[in-house]
Homo-oligomer: A and B are copies of this chain.
Amino acid sequence: MRTTATGRPRLEERKRPGNTARDEVLDAAAELFTTMGVAATSTRQIAEAVGIRQASLYHHFRTKNDILAALLSGTVVSSLSAAHQLRDRPEPAVVLLHALCYLDCRLLWDSPWNLGILYLLPEVRDPQFDEFHRQRTELRAAYRELAERVVADLSPPAPGCLDVTPDDDAVFRMVETLPNLRADGLGAPDQPARTADLAVHLLGWRGDWAALRAASRAVAAELAQRPVDEVTSSTVAP
């Protein structure tokens, strides 16, 4: 049983990480969904894992799918916010794209539960997940836009270089392999930065990788404070 880090007295003992009962429900559901499966998990089991009554759970979420929708949106919303903030920054596009990859991958890589494995579930095709799909589509479009700027900056392209187009979704696809690596127990500890390197390399960028990483890390650090923490607080332990 964890104790509160601040030592502030609490009315009740918390069974799960999270600042609020809602956060505890999200954490418990994320664990059950990613280990038992969504269909095999009931709201009763989620309530039990939190140590609350099912009726209390319904105070926060109407249905199991409402919980799943909140969790899935939580995996993209802060990356989307980062993408919006990055768009108008003065740094070269390759730095911005690297930073977006890095932040997005960190979320997929370091979050306590590997929620990315749930993206392709047939159940998630239901219209009640439209908001999540809209957000994910918007994030994909942001990757396309930045990737296009990176490729345009490469002119003239090196001889023998493939013409990577926005429709290839090359960077977004590399980022979304992190749930696979995680599920398979593979990948370097610095996988988020490494995947950002690979994505940019895939577009044909060549240069000083240490300098690119440093510039990307500086931009990411500026952005990370707000959006990453926002998501962290809704899905993850403090």
A residues whose Cβ falls under 8 Å from a Cβ of B: 33-40, 117, 119-123, 158-162, 164, 167-170, 173-174, 176-177, 179-181, 183, 186-188, 194, 197-198, 201-202, 204, 206-209
The reply to whether A198 and B202 form a contact with Cβ atoms under 8 Å apart is yes
Min distance, Cβ A206 to any Cβ of chain B, angstroms = 3
In-complex Cβ contact of A188 among B167, B180, B206 (8 A): B167
- CB within 8 A of A181: which of B119, B122, B169, B209? B169
Minimum Cβ distance to chain B for residue A211 (Å)? 11
Residues of B within 8 A of A198 (CB): 162, 164, 168, 170, 202
Q: Are A208 and B160 in contact (CB under 8 A)?
A: yes
Q: How far is the CB of A103 from chain B (nearest CB, A)?
A: 19
CB neighbours (8 Å) of A186 from chain B are: 167, 169
Complexed CA–CA distance, A121 and B119 (Å): 10
Q: Complex Cα distance A37/B179, Å? A: 19
Residues on B with beta carbons closer than 8 Å to the beta carbon of A161: 201, 206
A69 to B: closest C-beta gap in Å: 16
